Chain A
Amino acid sequence: MKLKVLPPTLRKNHHYLILDVKSEVEISKEDMLVYCWDACIRYWGENHSSNFDLWVMRHYLIEESTHNDEAIFNYKTVLRCGRSYENDVRVALSTLTRQNKRKIAINTIGVSGTVKSGISKFIDGDIIQ
């Protein structure tokens, strides 16, 4: 049996980080979630990371380019995190440099109260259809 949905006042509050991700290889939405969790647990430890409540809401490929004969994939991602933990999450993500021996760089370009407003402010117009 499915659990009943919590009333709004008892639900956790969330904010949404808009991320600019650069990588040497293609990254799927599932991979992105694993990378974010890994970065947070490595920097803050298991105890503090338990407050973050991370989830990847949207994941878009923005650009595919080459530099010095190396491919660079540029993504924009909407990452859900617990309210008042935005700074902790962005610190952890910024310290991530390599995953599976491949270079990766994550920058937080904005914080938003809803997914919709985050996309309209920071992502719209960049998405490749």
Chain B
Amino acid sequence: MKFYDLNLRGQNYDNDLTLVKEANKFGWDYLNLNYTPDNFEKALEYKDDLIGELSSVDFNQTYRNKKTNFEHAELSMGINILNANSNEIRKIINKYRNKSNYISCLGGDLKINRSVCENHRIDVLSRPYYKRRDSGMNHVLAKEAKRNNVAIELCFRDILNNHLRYRANVISSFKEILKFHRKFKFPLILTTDSKSIFDVRSTRDVVSFFKSIGFSNEEIYNGFYYYPKQIVDFNKERKSMIVKGVKRIDGDDFTDTYDNLESDLEEFNESEDFDEDFNYDLIDDEDLELIEDIGDEDIENYLEEDEQ
């Protein structure tokens, strides 16, 4: 399994470089930097430099796992639309859909939530619970999100930046959206929305958090790998999609049956446990010696000594 983080907050070259290096260090395999529409084209100019710097990082200086991680994280850039109304969103989509592989829109306002869920040209509705007391979702929006294949995004940074009853409120929203996801099966993605290196957490820490609030292994797998990868792969081929369900195929790629097409998307394995990789660290030779050394007689001797 690879870990996708589709929402890192991009700002400028220096900040982005530190952020990307830090995320790479803690085991993230695919990083997507999000910019406002105004900053997006400036950011594209230094994208290659960022990728070059990232690939020169020494693997041994990171906490990446040889078994599960890529050697280096992949990098892409996308657009995050903030504080816009439905009309503005439509204009931005028309302008940037062909230029960007990832477009998300910040939710929170009910009208925005609804118009984004109904728009199949947007990939992600980000944080529908933003600045709200409820989750910002209901069964109608859930059905629309499923029909138009719009993913709903939950950000770990909302947990970090809120405290006490506000944090409890966010967790409650996460749980409610998870309940809708279980019933209506819309894509649900999990991201960190890191802005500085103090927001970056290791993949295992974030997984443990989502487990602690009630996500199952399969939901975590889907949220960090399956749905993000689907979005990324779909957008690579979006240009050749004529209408929904119809795709233009070049002569070389054409096959009579789709059985021959191989996907590199790994299936979820029910026995997959995210703790497995660490288990080998836990048994130490000294522990084993200690266990072998102690017999029943020793225990009795200890107890007798205590009684005396």
Contact = CB atoms under 8 A, between A and B. Distances in A.
A114 B281 contact: no
Contacts of B290: 8
A93 to B, nearest CB: 8
B200 interface: yes
B212 A104 contact: no
Given A22-B197, A105-B197, A109-B63, A94 B208 contact: yes
B281 A110 contact: yes
A79 to B, nearest CB: 14
B209 A7 contact: no
Given A110-B281, A114-B286, A4 B306 contact: yes
A114 B284 contact: yes
A53 interface: no
A113 B198 contact: no
Interface centre among B160, B199, B205, B211 (most CB of A within 10 A): B205
Contact of A112 (B26, B212, B282): B282
Nearest to A110: B281
Given A8-B294, A114-B287, A104 B198 contact: yes
Contacts of A80: none
A46 B36 CA distance: 43
Please classify how large the interface on chain B is, using the bins under 10, 10 to 19, 20 to 34, 35 or more.
Answer: 35 or more
A105 B294 contact: no
B199 A105 contact: yes
Contacts, number: 87
B121 to A, nearest CB: 35
Contact of B198 (A20, A22, A88): A22
Interface in B6-43: 14-15, 18, 26
Interface in B159-200: 159-161, 167, 197-200
B90 interface: no
Given A97-B198, A104-B198, A67 B18 contact: yes
Nearest to B201: A94
A108 interface: yes
A52 B221 CA distance: 28
B140 interface: no
Given A22-B198, A87-B211, A88-B212, A95 B159 contact: yes
A108 B205 contact: yes
Interface centre among B199, B202, B209, B281 (most CB of A within 10 A): B281
Interface centre among B26, B208, B209, B287 (most CB of A within 10 A): B208
Contacts of A87: 208, 211-212, 275
Given A22-B197, A67-B197, A116-B286, A94 B205 contact: yes
22 contacts: A7-B298, A9-B302, A22-B198, A68-B14, A90-B204, A91-B209, A94-B208, A97-B161, A97-B198, A97-B199, A104-B198, A105-B200, A107-B26, A107-B200, A108-B204, A110-B278, A112-B284, A113-B281, A113-B282, A113-B284, A113-B287, A114-B284
Interface of A: 4, 7-9, 15, 20, 22, 67-68, 72, 87-88, 90-91, 93-95, 97, 103-105, 107-114, 116-117, 121
Interface of B: 14-15, 18, 26, 63, 159-161, 167, 197-202, 204-206, 208-209, 211-212, 275, 278, 281-284, 286-287, 290, 294, 298-299, 302-303, 306
